Amino acid sequence: MRSAGMPRRRKRRRVNLAPVLALLLVANVAAGLRWSPLTAPVRVRAMGVEPFDRPRIAQLLGALEGRSCLQIDPREVETGVMAAPEVDSADFRRNLFGSASLRVAYRRPVARLEGTWNVLLAADGSLYPSRQTVGPLPLVRVPKEDLEPNLSIASRWPVAPMVELASRIPRALAGDRNVIEYTSRGGLCLNISESGRVIFGPPQGLEEKLARLETLLKENPSLPKEIKELNLTAPSRPVVKLATPGGKQ
């Protein structure tokens, strides 16, 4: 029995080391994975990179050498890749086994801005400076006062129909001297030579007008050389003005 007046003995609490040890183990493994050179991306597989952009991409990927995978922020890599105006999207992925992949997709140009050699109109309707090597493209004629400072066409221009027309010019009319323009009087127009042109009028119903143009070209393959003006404002009633061999009506 405990004598009166004697202090009561306190029971010692046993420290549960299991959670502490588990936490230390997790921290140690995480630090090892983050800083270990074993997880460095020893090889990055780049896909879809166009020749003109290979030196730039190689420099960006070269900066990743020696860094562990978990030190690399995919969003940071993608942002660097997409800094070039020609790039449409970038997807960077890495794993813990020392490998990574980069997939790059570029804008698809459908036309070139008249009066320039490197400003292209993309399939999404935006204008951008480009180093891409492209084949023959039609030109788009846009007055300087209708261009915004950020290389976009003013909203009063029907950009989407212009892109559609540039993408669907019939093979018989294809060429890098074609000029697409939009005027307040004639609407959407395709100039196919110095004197010949196809007038589509308002951009509404462009699908039907292009289909009618295809039919007329199939019926008369020499039509592009004969016309001075083909008006498809009313596609069911096309109006043709022929040019003489000398180029005059």
HEC profile of the chain: CCCCCCCCCCCCCCCCHHHHHHHHHHHHHHHHHHHCHHHCCCEEEEECCCHHHHHHHHHHHHCCCCCCHHHCCHHHHHHHHCCCCCEEEEEEEECCCCEEEEEEEECCEEEEECCCCCEEEECCCCEEECCCCCCCCCEECCCHHHECCCCCECCCCCHHHHHHHHHCCCHHHCCCCCEEEEECCCEEEEECCCCCEEEEECCCCHHHHHHHHHHHHHHCCCHHHHEEEEECCCCCCCEEEECCCCCCC
Q: Read off the tokens for 236.
A: 């069911």
Contact (CB, 8 A) for 210 and 165: yes
Contact (CB, 8 A) for 41 and 98: yes
pLDDT by residue, tens only, the chain of 249 residues: 555 555 555 555 565 555 655 565 556 655 555 555 555 556 788 999 999 999 999 999 988 877 777 778 899 999 999 999 999 999 999 877 778 899 999 999 999 999 888 999 999 988 999 998 888 899 999 887 778 777 778 777 888 999 999 999 888 887 778 999 998 777 999 998 767 899 999 999 999 999 999 999 999 888 888 889 999 999 999 999 887 654 444
The pLDDT value recorded for residue 11 is: 57
The pLDDT value recorded for residue 175 is: 73
- Residue in this structure with the two tokens 């970038």, named with its chain if needed: 90
The pLDDT value recorded for residue 135 is: 84
Contact (CB, 8 A) for 171 and 148: no
